[in-house]
Amino acid sequence: MSLPHEAMAPEDDTLRPDPARMYDYMLGGDHYLPVDRAAAQSLIDMYPTVGLTAKANRAFLLRAVRAIAEAGVDQFLDIGCGIPHAPNVHDVVREVRPGAKVVYVDASAVVLERIGASGPPEGVVGVQADLRDSRTILEAAGRVLDLSRPVGLLLVAVLHFIREDEDIEGMIAALRDGLAPGSHLAMSVACADEIPQDKIEFGKAAYQGATRPIRPFPGDRIRGWFEGWDVLPPGLVQPSLWRPETDDPPYMEAREEVVGAAVLRA
């Protein structure tokens, strides 16, 4: 299969902003370059709540992962996993399911470098692959996970890096079809429904020169991705509204209309 240009972006490109490093900057990490900080900061300067939205998304990811582990799942496939940022998915999962296995997948070489440098424990592996290439991802996952048992599939803050004219529905269906019944999907994605047009354009521009440009999707299209899955309560909501915990930081103050989040069961 030939991949679109974006999928083949040179991963060692230090001259262009990289969404993995931009997100690391927004989360308060230290694995970004000046070019990433400049792009992310331009967005934050214009819309100060963007940094809070990134943190709310990360907090949703960890709550969702814990809920899936509590539902009995002890193996996870995290696609678009991002640069490690403690606590990581495997840390949270293993609090509930010690010895749980996690396959981290990302298209960006810097992510895999950082996973390697972090010294992942046994049963936690990183794979460089593109979300569009479900066959490679499932093959790699199958070498570590038992795909005849339920898997927690994570597609958190990654789908908005796929172009709107691509077959996102097919990508999600191919992953779902490769997983056992009882598997769960946690997802979040930039949702265009309530974002003012000027903010959409500014956000797209901030990522325009990046290795992977961003675009938000209409809620109707996002809900179409859920075919074949049961959407668990409370449904598709802003990340901080997905089963909030009382000790969460006050992310509710963030204007997070940009992101919708949900957990589903196959």
Ligand X SMILES: C[S@@+](CC[C@H](N)C(=O)[O-])C[C@H]1O[C@@H](n2cnc3c(N)ncnc32)[C@H](O)[C@@H]1O
Residues at the contact surface with ligand X, assessed by CB under 6 A: 19-20, 23, 57-58, 61, 79-82, 106-108, 111, 130-132, 156-158, 161, 212
Q: 190-199: string of b/e by CB count within 10 Å (b at 16+)?
A: bbbeebeeeb
Give min distance, CB of 13 to ligand X, in A. 12
In Å, what is the CA distance from 12 to each residue of 16, 38, 107, 112, 157? 10, 18, 12, 12, 22
The residue among 73 and 153 lying less far from ligand X, judged by its C-beta, is 153
Phi and psi angles of residue 116, each rounded to the nearest 5 degrees, phi first: -60, -45
Residue showing the smallest CB distance to ligand X in the complex: 82
Which residues on adjacent β-strands are paired with residue 101?
Answer: 75
Alpha-carbon gap, residue 221 to 134, rounded angstroms: 20
The residue among 80 and 150 lying less far from ligand X, judged by its C-beta, is 80
Give min distance, CB of 239 to ligand X, in A. 9
User: 3-state class of 54 per DSSP?
Assistant: helix
- Counting DSSP H helices and E strands in the chain, the numbers are 9, 7
Give min distance, CB of 110 to ligand X, in A. 8
The residue among 57 and 183 lying less far from ligand X, judged by its C-beta, is 57
The residue among 11 and 244 lying less far from ligand X, judged by its C-beta, is 11
